[in-house]
């Protein structure tokens, strides 16, 4: 039995447990039967896709990326181009090629092609960016995000510029989002146990030894960048179908902040941390929204001031970074070994404390 096969068998519990946890949330939405609650669960699954997509690169490479929301933007607009009714595209997006204007695909096919579209651009950007390291790489990814946002905010005939693009088919049922979230989890797990994932983690933990062993660090980073870009593109496409409208600013600084927050809170170095961080902060955000809307207690109504959500997120991040720098999961993975136990990370390697700095 090969080493990778052994690692796969020992770590398969992680994606299975995480998938079961997501299924529980989906069944809860089905049992409650409330449209607002159903949308809340859909939003949670979308965040899982995006944060797991971010983890694929950040968690394995140790390089913080501020630009992955750009791939979400690429995926969302690709979904709009591929699935909107032709008449709507002629009116709102007159600059599209005729063949694309006439095309109308089902949402699942559009999401798949949107993932491919984002992956292509990730490969093009990554050929340059992945040769950088540390803070230079992080700043370069933010520059990439700014470029994408600027282009999509001004390309009026193709993206509608800053105007909202409407008419995207809306998918209200929770099951497609559940399937996509589970797919993202298994893609992240498969990459982590692959040769590319193992090599990238080795280079992150011991860059000098990895270089001496012949590991091509820019190449391994590029693979992770492309895979994560594809997952983010799929998430962007489904995001568009969840609300039926897209604008460039939807996929800019706000989304960048929330996805990074969830990854940091859960633990940047583990797949379980990515998912647990989403679930923890999503429940917190929803509870604060409920309190901001107001809760009636007897004859009086209690309501938190607007903006408490953002303040609470900031406070939680500060506390996590101060008291538990490696996140809620401590860079470990959920496993079967015994009740309440955690297993080594999905690569089978020891995880570093990312609070001590990122790999060069």
Determine the Cα–Cα distance for residues 204 and 206; give it in Å rounded to an integer.
Answer: 6
Q: Is 295 helix (H, G, I), strand (E, B) or coil?
A: strand
3-state secondary structure of 233: helix
DSSP 244: S
| pTM higher than the cut 0.75 | yes
Secondary structure of residue 317 in the 3-state scheme: helix
Tens digit of each residue's pLDDT (9 = 90 or more) over 319-348: 888 888 888 888 888 887 654 444 555 555
Let me know: does 78 contact 114? Beta carbons within 8 Å.
yes
Could you tell me which of 47, 109, 64, 63 has the C-alpha nearest to residue 236?
47
**Confidence label for 44 from pLDDT (cuts 50, 70 and 90):** very high
Element (H, E) at 296: strand 295-297
CB neighbours of 360 closer than 8 A, spacing ≥ 6? 133, 134, 207
97 burial type by CB count under 10 A (0-12 exposed, 13-18 middle, 19+ buried): exposed
How many angstroms separate the most distant Cα atoms in the chain?
72
The region of weakest confidence among 71-85, 93-107, 200-214 is: 200-214
Rounded CA-CA distance 324/322 in Å is 6
- Backbone phi, then psi, for 342, in 5-degree steps? -125, 155
pLDDT at position 306 is 78
| Digit-coded pLDDT (tens) for 220-272 | 999 999 999 999 999 999 999 999 999 999 999 999 999 998 999 999 989 99
Look at residue 310 in the predicted model and tell me its pLDDT: 79
pLDDT of 181 reads 98
Report how far residue 262's alpha carbon sits from residue 4's, in angstroms, rounded to the nearest whole number. Answer: 29
Q: Kindly list the structural domains of the chain, giving each domain's residue range(s) and its CATH number in brackets, ordered by start.
A: 3-356 (1.10.3470)
**What is the full DSSP assignment across 1-59?**
--HHHHHHHHHTHHHHHHHHHHHHHHHHHHHH--HHHHHHHHHHHHHHHHHHHHHHHHH
| pLDDT tens track for 102-146 | 999 999 999 999 999 999 999 999 999 998 888 999 999 999 999
- pLDDT at site 191: 95
293 vs 306: CA distance, rounded Å: 9
SS3 for 167?
A: coil
Q: Are strands 342-343 and 333-334 parallel, antiparallel or unpaired?
A: antiparallel
Q: Give the number of other CB atoms < 10 A from CB of residue 150.
A: 11
């Amino acid at each position: 039995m090969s080493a990778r096969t052994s690692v796969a068998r020992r770590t398969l519990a992680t994606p299975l447990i995480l998938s079961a946890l997501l299924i529980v949330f989906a069944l809860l939405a089905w049992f409650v039967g409330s449209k607002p609650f159903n949308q809340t669960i859909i939003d949670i699954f979308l965040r899982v896709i995006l944060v797991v997509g971010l983890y694929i690169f950040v968690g394995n490479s140790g390089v913080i990326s501020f630009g992955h929301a750009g791939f979400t933007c690429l995926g969302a607009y690709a979904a709009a181009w591929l699935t909107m009714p032709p008449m709507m595209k002629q009116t709102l997006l007159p600059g599209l090629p005729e063949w694309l204007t006439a095309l109308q695909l089902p949402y699942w096919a559009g999401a798949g092609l949107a993932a491919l579209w984002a992956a292509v651009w990730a490969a093009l950007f990554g050929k340059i960016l992945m040769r950088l390291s540390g803070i230079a790489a992080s700043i370069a990814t933010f520059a990439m995000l700014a470029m994408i946002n600027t282009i999509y905010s001004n390309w009026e005939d193709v993206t509608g510029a800053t105007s909202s693009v409407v008419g995207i088919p809306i998918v209200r049922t929770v099951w497609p989002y559940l399937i996509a979230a589970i797919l993202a989890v298994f893609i992240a797990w498969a990459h982590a146990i692959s040769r590319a994932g193992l090599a990238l983690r080795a280079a992150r933990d011991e860059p000098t030894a990895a270089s001496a062993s012949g590991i091509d660090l820019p190449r391994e980073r590029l693979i992770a960048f492309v895979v994560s870009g594809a997952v983010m593109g799929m998430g962007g496409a489904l995001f568009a179908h969840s609300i039926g409208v897209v604008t460039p600013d939807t996929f800019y600084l706000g989304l960048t902040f929330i996805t990074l927050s969830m990854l940091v809170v859960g633990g940047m170095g583990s797949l379980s941390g990515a998912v647990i961080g989403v679930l923890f902060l999503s429940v917190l955000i929803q509870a604060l929204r409920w309190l901001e809307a107001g809760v009636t207690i007897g004859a009086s109504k209690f309501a938190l001031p607007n903006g408490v959500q953002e303040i609470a997120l900031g406070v939680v991040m500060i506390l996590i970074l101060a008291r538990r720098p490696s996140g809620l999961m401590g860079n470990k993975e959920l496993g079967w070994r015994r009740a309440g136990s955690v297993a080594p990370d999905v690569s089978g390697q020891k995880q570093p404390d990312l609070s001590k700095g990122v790999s060069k």
